């Protein structure tokens, strides 16, 4: 659905930062998007889309992909203990932390895929706009998804010299500075350089020691070169990257329980005092490593557009992505070593897309192919010497190190066609065939125990005698895989496995352009999300089994209609998803070890929902936007174990991280103060109803409803050459949390930030 960026005059953007068609009156301007690989008015696109300009992202305080949940109803974003964000759109998400997990919601920059969620943190640098496409994608974008796609469109080089800077200072000594320089190098070579630096002090406080946590150290940069040697050839180079050396967020402990009673570690856990339940309260281990991460990412892409004729264009998009992470996370929110995690990961991705686009006599078509090769390294070390599960009977365990290395090769062919049957009535069809081949090697390595002894090895050597009584014991050395096969033998070396899949995704639809630039549309589509292998510390090899691909058949009917001489824009949609083989982080049962972590699949589920958005601009400078999503998610057939190891029939259970109601609203008024100065005031709100972090009714994993309110006010030049604003976010200091997890001996949650307030000054040359 058209979104925040539909309001004309409410928040002026820098020149050429956002493509808009001139308003037909003093009402709402049309937004130009590229959701169908060509420039169109958002009201002409038969998809549910939320769009926002770069200026709106700046004023809303959006500096990362996860922040988009503030302005996109139906989108949630959760942090994870492995420093990998988890995106859920219209209830479609996958609570899995592995680096190599394909997302349900794909993220792109200028149509170039960021194939894994960990790469997406800083995609919001110097953007002209962002487009959030809801529902299964694949026939047009380069990555199959079941939830949707987010496409960041970078602000492009300009024909004349331009420059600008934005400087913000806010609570917790946060300094956010960004700027750009753009212009011609030669008559046919244009360039744009942009950069951003965020530095902040701590915002979390330890409830046991009084220490503080939460420093931000982020740096981002992008260089764009646009070269047009002839009228028929265009070449665009995009080199960008970011560095994040911030503190890792510590979770908040809400409850303790004893996973394995009757050993020496039980008493210290029971003695832990209750943790204050406030936004800033948390706790963490201080005697291992600093709670920091060192994440770095670089991307280079080359796009070539060549006009073969007046109606046919050949496009090539080549891309290279490299991501590296080293981090230490405290997953248990205590000063003890119950679940502390040191991660070490790397992802290298190469992709190539070739496509032909053409038009003729009411027909628009696209045919193409793409190939992607991803190599991932996902290693970790779990420190759990204070957990009750550290003991197996009288025997004391040590640290363990899960490893998960993958090589993924994906090839696809796709086509899409639109045909205007009669004036204003268009039919659309698209196909995509995808072949995916994944080679994987994974297990859990024995790490040193107390005093450097490989103490987990004797435990699993002893277990061999229980599974294979009377047979020789296979010794396990430090650095070897201890996970046991079904026959009771240790893996010793990582388990190598393959997962080869193919699928045919498709979309069919019809749309009719009504009077006054309105649109009515109906679509049916099928989308897939590839299978994957887990990153776990497995006691048995069967925990390493992959999940196969999941699929959604989606039905949607919607409309987009300007009213009252474009003073009002009304958009709506209803949708139904038939969901098969939903991927889930759950448990499997082992006769020796009991419930164990693993990836599982839900055979049948469904989603019903509706969306409505109203954009009102009754007078110049005054606007009101309200958008809401209603979701009814339900598992229709599944018997298994939830996160707490409970075996039950979960038919009728709701999906995790899928609030029934989500609403975003924004109001603003821009008014003249003097001939050389304008004033503005505004407010925005974001509401999410109650949801849960796990299937089944587990009170400790519930996420209660919350409403966040932001305020802003300021002055600016009539031509927007400068702007000064003061603002507050979460102004009522709402205590809320966005995710919750259960780990060994404790339940934890990740809280949202408390009230922040600050000021921003922007200048454009």
**Helix (H, G, I), strand (E, B), or coil: what is residue 590?**
strand
> How many Å apart are CA 87 and CA 91, to the nearest integer?
10
Whether the per-residue pLDDT at 112 is higher than 50: the answer is yes
Please identify which residue in the block is written with the tokens 């995690």. 341
Q: What is the mean pLDDT of residues 525-535?
A: 94
Q: How confident is the model at residue 336 (pLDDT cuts 50, 70, 90)?
A: very high
Question: What contacts 397, CB < 8 A, 6 or more positions away?
Answer: 384, 389, 390, 391, 449, 455, 456, 459
User: What CATH number is associated with residue 253?
Assistant: 2.40.170.20
> How many Å apart are CA 750 and CA 639, to the nearest integer?
29
pLDDT score for 71: 94
| pLDDT tens-digit map of 255-287 | 998 888 888 999 999 999 988 999 999 999 888
| pLDDT tens-digit map of 66-82 | 999 999 999 999 988 77
| pLDDT tens-digit map of 482-499 | 889 988 899 999 999 999
Mean pLDDT of the chain: 90
Whether the per-residue pLDDT at 644 is higher than 70: the answer is no
Instruction: Answer whether 259's CB lies under 8 Å from 382's CB.
Output: no
pLDDT score for 4: 47
Q: How confident is the model at residue 3 (pLDDT cuts 50, 70, 90)?
A: very low
Kindly provide the residue ranges of all beta strands, DSSP E only, lying in 638-705, ordered along the sequence. Answer: 639-641, 647-649, 661-674, 677-688, 691-692, 702-703
Instruction: Answer whether 585's CB lies under 8 Å from 81's CB.
Output: no
Whether the per-residue pLDDT at 25 is higher than 60: the answer is no
Q: What is the mean pLDDT of residues 142-151?
A: 89
Q: What is the mean pLDDT of residues 628-656?
A: 89
pLDDT score for 451: 43
| pLDDT tens-digit map of 476-485 | 888 889 889 9
Whether the per-residue pLDDT at 461 is higher than 90: the answer is no
Window from 196-205, 208-217, 255-264, 631-640 with minimum mean pLDDT: 255-264
**Helix (H, G, I), strand (E, B), or coil: what is residue 363?**
strand
| pLDDT tens-digit map of 401-456 | 899 999 999 999 999 999 999 999 999 999 999 999 999 999 988 876 554 445 67
Tally of domains within the chain: 1
- Nearest of 262, 278, 255, 276 to residue 208 by alpha carbon: 276
**Helix (H, G, I), strand (E, B), or coil: what is residue 351?**
strand
Task: Look at 588 and 23; give whichever has higher pLDDT.
Answer: 588
Percentage above 70 pLDDT, the chain: 94
Phi-psi region of 118 (alpha: psi -120 to 50; beta: other; left: phi over 0): alpha
Whether the per-residue pLDDT at 172 is higher than 70: the answer is yes
> How many Å apart are CA 722 and CA 281, to the nearest integer?
39
Instruction: Answer whether 670's CB lies under 8 Å from 621's CB.
Output: yes
| Helix/strand/coil percentages in the chain, nearest 5 | 5, 60, 35
Task: Look at 144 and 36; give whichever has higher pLDDT.
Answer: 144
Instruction: Answer whether 103's CB lies under 8 Å from 85's CB.
Output: no
Domain containing 392: what range? 4-764
Q: How confident is the model at residue 16 (pLDDT cuts 50, 70, 90)?
A: very low
Task: Look at 349 and 288; give whichever has higher pLDDT.
Answer: 349
Please identify which residue in the block is written with the tokens 């264009």. 313
> How many Å apart are CA 378 and CA 323, to the nearest integer?
11
pLDDT score for 690: 97
């Amino acid at each position: 659905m058209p979104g925040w960026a539909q309001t004309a005059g409410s928040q002026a953007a820098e020149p050429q930062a956002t493509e808009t068609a001139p308003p037909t009156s003093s009402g709402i301007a049309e937004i130009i998007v590229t959701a169908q690989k060509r420039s169109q008015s958002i009201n002409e696109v038969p998809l549910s889309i939320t769009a926002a300009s770069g200026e709106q992202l700046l004023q809303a305080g959006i500096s990362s992909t996860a922040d988009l949940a503030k302005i996109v109803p139906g989108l949630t974003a959760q942090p994870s203990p492995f420093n990998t964000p988890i995106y859920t759109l219209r209830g479609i998400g996958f609570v899995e932390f592995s680096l190599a997990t394909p997302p349900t919601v794909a993220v792109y920059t200028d149509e170039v895929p960021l194939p894994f969620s960990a790469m997406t943190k800083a995609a919001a640098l110097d953007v002209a706009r962002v487009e959030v496409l809801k529902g299964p994608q694949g026939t047009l974008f380069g990555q199959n998804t079941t939830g949707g796609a987010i496409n960041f469109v970078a602000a492009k080089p300009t024909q004349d010299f331009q420059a600008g800077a934005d400087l913000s200072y806010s609570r917790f000594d946060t300094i956010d500075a960004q700027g750009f320089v753009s212009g011609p190098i030669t008559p046919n070579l244009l360039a744009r350089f942009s950069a951003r630096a965020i530095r902040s002090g701590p915002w979390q406080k330890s409830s046991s020691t009084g220490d503080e946590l939460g420093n931000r150290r982020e740096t981002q940069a992008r260089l764009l070169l646009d070269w047009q040697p002839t009228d028929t050839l265009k070449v665009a180079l995009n080199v960008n990257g970011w560095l994040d050396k911030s503190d890792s967020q510590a979770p908040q402990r809400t409850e303790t329980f004893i996973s394995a009673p009757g050993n020496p570690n039980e008493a210290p856990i029971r003695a832990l005092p209750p943790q204050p339940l406030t936004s800033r309260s948390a706790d963490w281990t201080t005697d291992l490593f600093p709670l920091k991460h060192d994440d770095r990412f670089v991307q280079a892409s080359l796009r070539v557009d060549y006009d073969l004729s007046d109606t046919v264009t050949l496009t090539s998009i080549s891309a290279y992505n490299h991501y590296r992470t080293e981090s230490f996370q405290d997953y248990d929110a205590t000063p003890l070593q119950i679940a502390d995690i040191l991660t070490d990961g790397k992802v290298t991705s190469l992709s190539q897309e070739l496509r032909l686009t053409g038009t003729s006599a009411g027909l628009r078509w696209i045919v193409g192919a793409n190939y992607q090769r991803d190599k991932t390294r996902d290693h970790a070390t779990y420190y759990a010497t204070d957990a009750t599960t550290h003991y197996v009977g009288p025997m004391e365990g040590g640290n363990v190190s899960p490893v998960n290395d993958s090589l993924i090769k994906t090839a696809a062919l796709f086509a899409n066609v639109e045909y205007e049957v009669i004036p204003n009535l268009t039919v659309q069809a698209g196909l995509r065939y995808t072949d995916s081949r994944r080679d994987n090697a994974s297990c859990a390595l024995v790490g040193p125990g107390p005093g450097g002894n490989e103490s987990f090895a004797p435990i699993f050597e002893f277990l061999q005698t229980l599974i294979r009584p009377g047979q020789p014991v296979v010794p396990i050395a430090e650095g070897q895989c201890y996970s046991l096969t079904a026959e009771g033998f240790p893996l010793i070396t990582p388990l190598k496995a393959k997962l080869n899949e193919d699928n045919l995704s498709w979309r069919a639809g019809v749309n009719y352009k009504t009077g006054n630039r309105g649109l009515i549309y109906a679509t049916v589509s099928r989308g897939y999300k590839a299978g994957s292998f887990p990153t776990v510390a497995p006691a048995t090899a069967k925990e390493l089994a992959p999940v196969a691909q999941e699929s959604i058949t989606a039905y949607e009917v919607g409309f987009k209609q300007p009213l009252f001489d474009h003073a009002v824009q009304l958009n709506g949609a209803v949708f139904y998803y038939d969901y098969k083989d939903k991927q889930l982080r759950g448990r499997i049962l082992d006769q020796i070890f009991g419930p164990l972590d693993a990836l599982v699949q839900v055979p049948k589920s469904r989603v019903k929902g509706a969306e409505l958005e109203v954009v009102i601009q009754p007078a110049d400078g005054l606007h009101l936007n309200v958008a809401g999503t209603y979701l009814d998610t339900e598992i229709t057939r599944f018997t298994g174990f939830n996160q707490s190891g409970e075996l039950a029939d979960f038919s009728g259970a709701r999906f995790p991280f899928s609030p029934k109601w989500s609403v975003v609203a924004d109001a603003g008024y821009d008014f003249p103060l003097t001939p050389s100065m304008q004033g503005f005031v505004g407010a925005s709100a974001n509401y999410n109803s109650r949801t849960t972090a796990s299937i089944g009714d587990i009170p400790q994993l519930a996420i209660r409803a919350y409403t966040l309110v932001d305020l802003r006010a300021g002055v600016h030049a009539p031509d927007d050459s400068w702007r000064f604003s003061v603002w507050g976010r979460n102004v009522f200091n709402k205590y809320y949390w966005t995710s919750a997890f259960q780990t060994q001996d404790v339940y934890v949650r990740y809280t949202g930030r408390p009230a922040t307030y600050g000021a921003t000054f922007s200048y454009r040359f």
